[in-house]
Structure formats: C-alpha cells, structure tokens
Structure 1
Amino acid sequence: MLYPSIDKLLDKVNSKYTLVTLSAKRARELQEQHLQPMLEETKSSKFVGKALEEINAGLLNKQ
C-alpha cells in the first residue's frame, strides 16, 4: 500500500499533475544533489517516496 495515500496528498496539492511534477522534481534534487530529506525519519527508502512524505507533511508546495 502506498504511504502516504493519494487522497491525503491531493488534499495538499490541487491536481495529480502537480503532485507528480512536484514529487519528481524533489526526488531528482534529493538524488542528484545528495540532499538530506527535510523529515527526520521517513518510511520510504526511495527518493520519490521521501518526496511524497515531505509533501504530505506540508514541507513542499507548488512554486
């Protein structure tokens, strides 16, 4: 099962397209720039999962 759920994520952003774009951009930043996630602990070990958890926590928003 996906964590966080799509329904919860869509409460944070207004469309699936924005969600995909925002999470992909953040995942690329985490991977290419070797950045640490903004969250202390993440459930996911993958970059996209970490980005989705950051969106769910309200740390990322569309710019």
Structure 2
Amino acid sequence: MAHQPIEELLPKSGFSVYRLVRMAAIRALELADGKPPLIKKTSSDKLTSIALEEIYQGKLEFAEEADGKSGAPADGKSSSEKSEA
C-alpha cells in the first residue's frame, strides 16, 4: 500500500498526529540502520512508507515512557535498552 489512510493510522497513535509522525520517523531510522522490516511485502522502497505500513498493519505499537512522554515504537526494547545490548 503506497498510501496509508490517515483516518486508520491515527487511532493507532492515540489520535495524535505528532505521535504518529514520531513513531514512523523513529522506525524509519531503525530501518535505515539495518533493522529488517516487520512486513514481507511492501509497495515502496521508501523507509517512511515501510514504517507507516508496519503501523497500519499493526506490527508496531506506540509505547509510553515512564515519564508519560511519547516513546519509540514498542517492538520489544526501548532505544536505551538497544544501545546497552
């Protein structure tokens, strides 16, 4: 899917455009660093499109940090846990 409908993506981010963009950007950076996509078929080679498709398909969930601020995509580990490993 080249175009993800915003009406279907917003509920996955708590109806926050900021959270949705932040989540997609962080995931796109992870993909750029070599992390494999969580979906098999993509209609685009663009990393942000792949990240949005992962969100759309429910492969990523949004994580809240301990201080209540928006965190990275919840794919098992936080960014700080990944850097310590």
TM-score bucket of the superposed structures, by smaller chain: 0.7 to 0.9
1:17 deviates by: 0.6
Question: Which residues in structure 2 correspond to 1:5-16 (within 5 Å)?
Answer: 5-14=5-14, 15-16=16-17
SS at match of 1:62: strand
Q: Higher relative contact order by CA 8 Å / sep ≥ 6: 1 or 2?
A: 1
Q: TM-score, normalised by structure 2?
A: 0.67
Work out the number of aligned pairs and report it: 61
CA–CA separation in structure 2 for the residues paired with 1:36 and 1:46: 13
CA–CA separation in structure 2 for the residues paired with 1:26 and 1:37: 9
CA–CA separation in structure 2 for the residues paired with 1:44 and 1:24: 16
Aligned sequence identity (%)? 39
CA–CA separation in structure 1 for the residues paired with 2:31 and 2:5: 21
One-letter identity of the residue aligned with 2:37: P
One-letter identity of the residue aligned with 2:32: Q
Q: Which structure has more helix as a fraction of its residues? A: 1
One-letter identity of the residue aligned with 2:21: V
Aligned Cα root-mean-square deviation (Å): 1.1
Q: TM-score, normalised by structure 1?
A: 0.88
Gaps of 5+ in 1: none
